Amino acid sequence: MIVAETIAVAFAMFSAIPVPQPIWNEKNMRYVMCAFPLVGVACAAVYGGWALLCGIWPVPSWLQAAGYCLIPVFVTGGIHLDGYADTCDALASYADAAKKQEILKDPHCGAFALIRVCSYFVAYFALCASLAMDRQALVCLGLGFILERTLSGWAVATFPIARNTGLVHTFATAADRAVVRRVLAAMAVCLCLALMAIGGVSGAAMAGAALLVLWRYKCVAEKQFGGISGDLAGWFLQKAEIWMLAALVICRIVEAGI
């Protein structure tokens, strides 16, 4: 019962998939970060379904790429993209940490957020259009969706929190942080090994890209914001997602040219 409630809390918070709405309490929030990667499994499953549909019907290549580009947004409801936009506004201000925190809390969308989000989707669409979505690519991208959420959950249980309010603080406070760190660290290692086993050099590049973005996330959060927050977690997820995709595309281009 608690396991089902924990999974429901994770999907209710981090996805747009309809689930029963349990009352949040200490028990079902303790390990919710361990259930967070299951949202990545859902993204991977919808990716596979779209690929199957595109294989059955003569879907134009640009429409196929648009589908792959937008599926993560539809599955998550754009919650991470919202954090990405807010963080882009805050980073573009070049203000001190306190001012950046105020910008994160501002519900309005600034010019830099619009510019960065538009640029993000142009790049994402172009990368999807450049990639042959064969079985290996789909499996690697699916593992990437899971890995980025595994690393994000691990960061919530490990990195310093910027302020004593907000969802990240709520989840971090409720979590059994020692257990969550160990479980998600083990999952991350297994996912990286799976990427390397299935994708070879491309998989290794994707895992490396995710870890580099994680390191960048820690540096930016600590130096410019005083710690992580929900918006910064969304920023990390979107950055990890596009950089893993870019790593896969670049490796495919290099392999084709050799």
Segment 166-189, tens digit of pLDDT: 566 666 666 677 888 999 999 999
Average model confidence (pLDDT) for the chain? 90
- pLDDT tens for residues 108-148? 788 888 999 999 999 999 999 999 999 999 999 999 999 99
Question: Which pLDDT value is given to residue 168?
Answer: 67
Q: Which residues pair with 161 in a beta bridge?
A: 228
What one-character DSSP code corresponds to residue 131? Answer: S
Confirm if 68 and 47 have CB atoms less than 8 A apart: yes
pLDDT tens, position by position, 213-227: 999 999 999 999 988
Coil, helix or strand at residue 210: helix
Q: What is the pLDDT of residue 101?
A: 79
So what's the pLDDT on residue 165? 55
Asked if residue 95 lies in contact with residue 36, where contact means CB atoms within 8 angstroms, the answer is: no
Per-domain boundaries in the chain: 1-256
Over pLDDT 90: what percentage of the chain? 64
What does each C-alpha distance from 236 to 26, 50, 66, 87, 222 come to in angstroms? 26, 25, 22, 10, 13
Average pLDDT over residues 249-258: 89
